[in-house]
């Protein structure tokens, strides 16, 4: 079985940032999956589960209401490892081209007074939210993005070396 591309990313070297995970095409139409990484995997603690859930609700609502981007958004959701989010957009833009959108989305969390969609009818785990911690993580990430805007490292995945044996088997070092 082939190793999926996201497992070829060197998770020991990745830093918080905005990365293009994959681009898929159907005819001339592209769909791009972005890795919005809030913490350093395996070096920093995972994002608090309740805060992650709140950030999912708040930023999904922000993205789907942004007048310039709402028609491009396909999906916003957390990574299973709780170190970031996936954003899927129509089209094929570089990570740098969505920098302003992501920074603005995380900055917007500070203005939220309550987490949207947190009733039992709207949410599968409506009691598991933490707005205060969500604001802390969002402010931390927005500040980090501002401080590192000129750093290419926050836009480019560190890749693992792919080892290929003489008979064609592929192995990864991560």
pLDDT value of residue 164: 59
The answer for 154, left when phi > 0, alpha when psi is -120 to 50, beta otherwise, is alpha
pLDDT at site 101? 98
At residue 72's C-alpha, the angle toward residues 6 and 77, to 5°, is: 45
Q: Any idea what DSSP says for residue 45?
A: P
Tell me the chain's radius of gyration from C-alpha atoms.
17
Instruction: Say how far apart CA 26 and CA 167 lie, in whole Å.
Output: 33
Per-residue model confidence (pLDDT) at position 86? 97
Tens of pLDDT along the chain (174 residues) come to 777 767 777 888 899 999 999 999 999 999 999 999 999 999 999 999 999 999 999 999 999 999 999 999 999 999 999 999 999 999 999 999 999 999 999 999 999 999 999 999 999 999 999 999 999 999 999 999 999 999 999 999 886 555 556 666 655 443
The encoded tokens of residue 27 equal 């005819």
Q: Beta strand 29-37 with 73-78: parallel, antiparallel or unpaired?
A: unpaired
Please, how many CA atoms are within 13 Å of residue 174, restricted to the half-sphere of its CB? 19
Record the pTM. 0.88
């Amino acid at each position: 079985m082939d190793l999926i591309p996201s497992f070829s990313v060197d998770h020991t070297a990745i830093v918080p940032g905005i990365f293009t995970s994959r681009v898929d095409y159907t005819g001339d139409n592209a769909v791009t999956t972005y890795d919005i990484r809030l913490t350093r995997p395996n070096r920093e603690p995972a994002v608090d589960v309740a805060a992650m859930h709140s950030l999912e609700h708040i930023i999904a609502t922000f993205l789907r209401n942004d007048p310039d981007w709402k028609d491009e958004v396909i999906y916003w959701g957390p990574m299973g490892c709780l170190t970031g989010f996936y954003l899927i957009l129509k089209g094929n833009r570089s990570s740098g081209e969505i920098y302003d959108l992501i920074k603005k989305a995380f900055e917007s969390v500070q203005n939220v007074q309550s987490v949207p969609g947190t009733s039992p009818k709207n949410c599968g785990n409506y009691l598991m939210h933490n707005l205060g911690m969500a604001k802390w993580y969002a402010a931390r990430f927005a500040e980090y993005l501002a401080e590192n805007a000129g750093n290419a490292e926050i836009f480019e995945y560190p890749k693992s070396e792919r080892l290929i044996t003489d008979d064609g088997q592929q192995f990864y070092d991560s």
